[in-house]
Amino acid sequence: MEYRFLGNTSIKVSRMCFGSLTIGPLQRNLPLAEGSSLIRTALEAGVNFIDTAQLYRNYSYIREALRGWSHEVVIATKSYAYTAEMMRDALEEARRELDLDQIPIFMLHEQESEHTIRGHWPALEYLLNAKVKGKVKAVGISTHYVQGVLGALKYPEIEVISPLINLSGIGIQGGSRDQMLNAIQQAAAQGKGIFAMKPLGGGHLIAEQKAAFDFLLELPYIDSIAVGMKNEQELNRNLAYFNGEPVAEFELEQTERKLHIDDWCLLCEKCVKACPNHALTKTPTEIAVDPEKCVFCGYCGAACPEFAIKVI
């Protein structure tokens, strides 16, 4: 496994980051022992970087995976907090539930532009103060938006960006794949650490996985790539890609992912507003999904008060 510094930070991460959204309650909801064991296997194989979020509700998997593990692990988490108080609670929750004194990377979740970053400034400022106190090592943002990356260029305090980028540009908001690449390149030139998310477009690129990984691995300004996986077969295959080893032929899983909406949906539209990819619309009788836009992130499910929408 190759390791790189995340931009100008002193944080060294594996090229493969374990994207933990997949194992938790928003997606596969693996039993705790199974999910934590998968993370532990990844750590034993040389992965030292785990991506999570307050929204994912999966800190317990990571805490269990780290139990008794003596090597340094870089955990990046994020929160939608926009006030100092909300961020204080989010940071303390992460420190408590991950059983860590210091969170290596804490980010503002899903920033859309310089304006949303400015709107979240009290939360970011809280993180910067927490950094001085040693509770956080580096701060950053995650974003699906070209303008989110461009907005971060105006804030030297933002050291790390997790942008959505993949071969086909699936899920990128506010511009094309190449516009996103251009923005990322500018951010990397400023010394910001870059770790890509959704390399397989939420599963849409699974059939062209090699090309999708090669595309990102060959971009010199992307330090690491967060890959979601749910079992050892996927983990081992992904490790082989990242280690430049031959990848065994793999029979694609027949069970395609889809978004399921139960008939007790109240049409409240909370999921529509929560979808970062504008994949949901409300019709007079139902919530309709645009399959071209949905990347199966599960964020809509987290927003539903009725537990009526989920990735299956």
Tell me which residues touch ligand SF4 (CB under 6 A).
259, 261, 265-271, 274-275, 277, 279-280, 287, 289, 294-300, 303-304, 306, 308-309, 311
Can you give the length of the chain in residues?
Answer: 312
Smallest distance, ligand SF4 to C-beta of residue 5, A: 31
Q: Which is nearer to ligand SF4, 188 or 274 (CB)?
A: 274
Q: Which is nearer to ligand SF4, 100 or 229 (CB)?
A: 229
Smallest distance, ligand SF4 to C-beta of residue 205, A: 15
Smallest distance, ligand SF4 to C-beta of residue 62, A: 22
Smallest distance, ligand SF4 to C-beta of residue 127, A: 25
Residues 186 and 154: beta-carbon distance below 8 Å:
no
Smallest distance, ligand SF4 to C-beta of residue 165, A: 16
Q: Which is nearer to ligand SF4, 12 or 57 (CB)?
A: 57
Query: What is the 3-class SS of the chain, one letter each residue?
Result: CCEEECCCCCCEEECEEEEHHHHCCCCCCCCHHHHHHHHHHHHHCCCCEEECCCCCCCHHHHHHHHCCCCCCCEEEEEECCCCHHHHHHHHHHHHHHHCCCCEEEEEECCCCCHHHHHHCHHHHHHHHHHHHCCCEEEEEEEECEHHHHHHHCCCCCCCEEEEECCCCCCCCECCCHHHHHHHHHHHHHCCCEEEEECCCHHHCCHHHHHHHHHHHHCCCCCCEEEEECCCHHHHHHHHHHHHCCCCCCCCCCCCCCCEEECCCCCCCCHHHHHCCCCCEEECCCCEEECCCCCCCCCHHHHHCCCCCEEEC
Smallest distance, ligand SF4 to C-beta of residue 208, A: 20
Q: Which is nearer to ligand SF4, 124 or 304 (CB)?
A: 304
Q: Which is nearer to ligand SF4, 32 or 268 (CB)?
A: 268
Q: Which is nearer to ligand SF4, 153 or 265 (CB)?
A: 265
Smallest distance, ligand SF4 to C-beta of residue 75, A: 23
Q: Which is nearer to ligand SF4, 88 or 270 (CB)?
A: 270
